[in-house]
Amino acid sequence: MKILLRRLAYVATFDTEDRELTDADILIDGPRIAAIGHDLPAGDVERVIDGTGLLALPGLINAHQHLFQASLRTLPPLERSGMPRFLDLQNELVLRRWQEGRFRAADIGAIARAALAESVLGGVTTVADQHTVFPGEEPEPYVEAVIEAAAEVGVRLHAGRGSVTFSRTRGGMIDDVFAEPVDAVLRHAEHLIATHHDPEPYAMTRIVLAPSGVVSDVPEMFRAFADLAAAHPGVRLHTHLHHHEDTRLAQARFGTSPWRILNEHGFTGDRLWVAHGVTPPPEEIAEYAAAGIGVAHIPAADLKLGWGLAPVRRYLDAGVTLGFGTTGSMTNDGANLLGDLRLAALAHRAPRTEPEEWPTARELLAMATRGSAACLGRPDLGSLAVGQAADISCWDLTTVDRAGAHDPLAALLFTGLSDIAALVLVNGIPVVEGGKVTRVDVAAAAREVRALSVADVAGRR
């Protein structure tokens, strides 16, 4: 289908030249952008969408999510809590739900549907999910359920097959019921790649091999995943690196940095991106750049857990690829990427820093678009240019909170009342129009998650 977005008030392309255009058109042909310019001829287009008053950006890319946590938001014990208590409560609640038959694949699909609907409403067009909890001997098809939910909503998904292979009785932080043998994880990962992974441009589904991290996995898991990824184009590696517990426990268990363990076991190179990177030893930052890994900045969870902020300016200065993510909803209650960009824009203005070090609105939006795309290995995403995927998110610049704003991109981050996108397209298909999700019933999706969550809430009051 050919669609013409006509007379967009402002287009920020985040292309190689950082072009920004006013009063511009975007022509979409099938899944790709066919032209960007002024007064493009409508020709044989099937649909013209009025872009008056809209700011258009490349669709935002959430480079780190745990969708299953979206029904475990604002748990009172976690309002002021570090990571050990968060993991204990995750263990307890997921185990209870599973024992009560409320952690079935269909439940995870319902939760993902709601969280993905929330994501597209916020202008997110691609989500990298990491599902890490597979209770029992014969785990349910949780990743498959998330893939199905993403297809229903129309959002692009990089589905992470997570793992826990180093559990509590061996000295880890996660209950044994969630631990799996390396072989079993590999078999399922191979099945997912064979069944769902699409290495082609404009792919809607890719598989990511995403162990929990050095804290919760045995080193053999990293090696096995690295070898598997090497055999499949477009299959990437993802894990947690250098949050406080990761740094601390790697030191206790291996006497070294978790980055050294990952490196020794093949988890490196430009196939890898990591989440958090809050507490890297300063000398490692140049190694990340040289290795070509990406780092997803997750400021909301890093702040909520009391970890502080990742050294974003030092990463940028060193040439490290930086993406942006929300992580799951037990450590960041929402999935509002734009809200987290605003938080980052302000939180990095800490005392004893110079204003020139603070990330700009454009730098942060670049992380959440082409930066995250680079993390995911998607040169076809993250910018608006001819041949790129038609993943386009538009916000209304005529809202009352943006009246008087002088810079549309800064207005998107710093005003804040109108975070819901007016129009979102993924692969040229409108998934949000008029500020409403087009393909799923959002109220019904929310109702399902409320029903799943109510027993936990009752139990904790």
Site string for Zn ion, 282-321 (x = CB under 5 A): ----------------------------------------
Inter-residue contact 446 to 114 (CB < 8 Å)? yes
CB of 76 to Zn ion, least distance (A): 21
Angle between helix axes 442-460 and 105-121 (nearest 10 degrees) is 120
By the rule CB under 5 A, 327 interacts with Zn ion: yes
Minimum Å gap between C-beta 217 and Zn ion is 13
Region of 152-160, 219-227, 325-333, 339-347 interacting with Zn ion (CB under 5 A): 325-333
Q: Does 132 bind Zn ion (CB under 5 A)?
A: no
Q: Shortest gap between Cβ of 212 and Zn ion (angstroms)?
A: 8
Quote the crossing angle between the two packed helices 142-153 and 105-121, to the nearest 10°. 40
Nearest residue (CB) to Zn ion, 226 versus 300: 300
Cα 346 to the center of its chain, rounded Å: 21
Name the one range near Zn ion by CB under 5 A: 175-183, 257-265, 324-332, 419-427: 324-332
Name the residue nearer to Zn ion (CB basis): 71 or 327: 327
Considering CB under 5 A, how many residues would be counted as binding Zn ion? Answer: 1
How many Å apart are CA 109 and CA 103, to the nearest integer? 10
The residue number with the shortest CB distance to Zn ion is 327
C-alpha 214/C-alpha 132 separation (Å) is 13
Instruction: Determine the Cα–Cα distance for residues 300 and 154; give it in Å rounded to an integer.
Output: 26
- Range in contact with Zn ion (rule: CB under 5 A) among 164-172, 211-219, 326-334, 434-442: 326-334
CA distance 95 to 82: 20
Using CB under 5 A, which residues numbered 197 to 226 contact Zn ion?
none
- 63 vs 338, which CB is nearer to Zn ion? 63
Q: Which is nearer to Zn ion, 298 or 429 (CB)?
A: 298
Q: Rank residues 130 and 383 by Cβ distance to Zn ion and give the closer one.
A: 130
Does residue 167 touch Zn ion according to CB under 5 A? no
Choice between 327 and 393, CB closer to Zn ion: 327
Report the nearest approach of Zn ion to the CB of residue 66 (Å): 6
CB closer to Zn ion out of 340 and 448: 340
Task: Using alpha carbons, select from 180, 225, 181 the residue that is nearest to residue 207.
Answer: 225
Confirm if 300 and 343 have CB atoms less than 8 A apart. Answer: yes
Residues 168-197, mask of contacts with Zn ion (x by CB under 5 A)? ------------------------------
Q: Are 382 and 14 in contact (CB under 8 A)?
A: yes
Site residues for Zn ion per CB under 5 A: 327
